[in-house]
Chains A and B, each alone.
Chain A
Amino acid sequence: MVRGMFKSGRFSRVHVKVPGGRTVLRFKEKTPKQPHCGECGKPLPGIPRMSRVEATHASKSSKRPQRPFGGVLCSACTRKRLVAKARV
């Protein structure tokens, strides 16, 4: 019987061939998708792909850039927004 935690969708099922020759079902924790810019959709650099547990223990500043919209928009889109706001 599969443990409840393995049915949550957090794990992927992997068929592993063991040294004895059998094929065994193993569960591997999924790595989260790389975050993308909310405006242009480009992948955001500088954001580590951690598991949830790792992310709770990591510092905030290690998980996203320190500028406004850090971790939400890419630097180019942030700059565009700030310039547009300044010129109004």
Chain B
Amino acid sequence: MALFEVGRVCVKIAGRDAGERCVIVEVLDAHTVLVDGATRRRKCNVKHLEPLAETLDVKKGATHDAVAKAFTALGVDVKESKPRKATTKPRHAHKAKADAGEQSAVGQPVKAKAPKAEKPKAEPAKAPKAEKADAPKKKVAAKKTE
């Protein structure tokens, strides 16, 4: 078996995921492979990998879930990347508005930044907070009247 073939367990020795174990999922090139496992799933230069003696039963182009299952044999936790939560900070809303305004002013196509403009959905989320803030005041007022 060649060194860098599908199923070979490696240690990444460069970059942010250095020191983490990964398995080769696909050989893309003479010097690039697709790796997944305790590292992020990514294309990787062979120079940035240190091959180990172990191999895993992984098919070519295996999904992340399949790799995670195979990694339980190694006793290594697989890195799970969580999708980013949509931020509801007001400054983002301002920025989106500003972008939209600029684009309309210049007359450029709005298609490219359409997803950004959708962000200011925070308004309905803010509304209940405002109500909550109002509610205790009302109670206080009621008490005073009593």
Contact = CB atoms under 8 A, between A and B. Distances in A.
A68 B19 CA distance: 8
Contacts of B85: none
A32 B22 CA distance: 39
B143 interface: no
Interface in B2-39: 11, 13-16, 18-19
Interface of B: 11, 13-16, 18-19, 50, 52
Given A82-B50, A86-B50, A75 B14 contact: yes
A45 to B, nearest CB: 15
Tell me the dominant secondary structure on chain A's binding face.
helix
Interface residues of A, number: 11
A67 interface: yes
Contacts of A78: 13, 18
B19 A87 contact: no
Interface of A: 66-68, 75, 78-79, 82-83, 85-87
Contacts of B14: 67, 75, 79
B15 A67 contact: yes
A86 B18 contact: no
A85 B19 CA distance: 9
B50 to A, nearest CB: 5
B18 A68 contact: yes
A86 B68 CA distance: 21
Contact of A83 (B15, B16, B50): B50
Contacts of A86: 11, 13, 50, 52
Contacts of A85: 11, 19
A71 B18 CA distance: 14
Contacts of A75: 14
A72 B16 CA distance: 14
Nearest to A79: B13
A79 B13 CA distance: 5
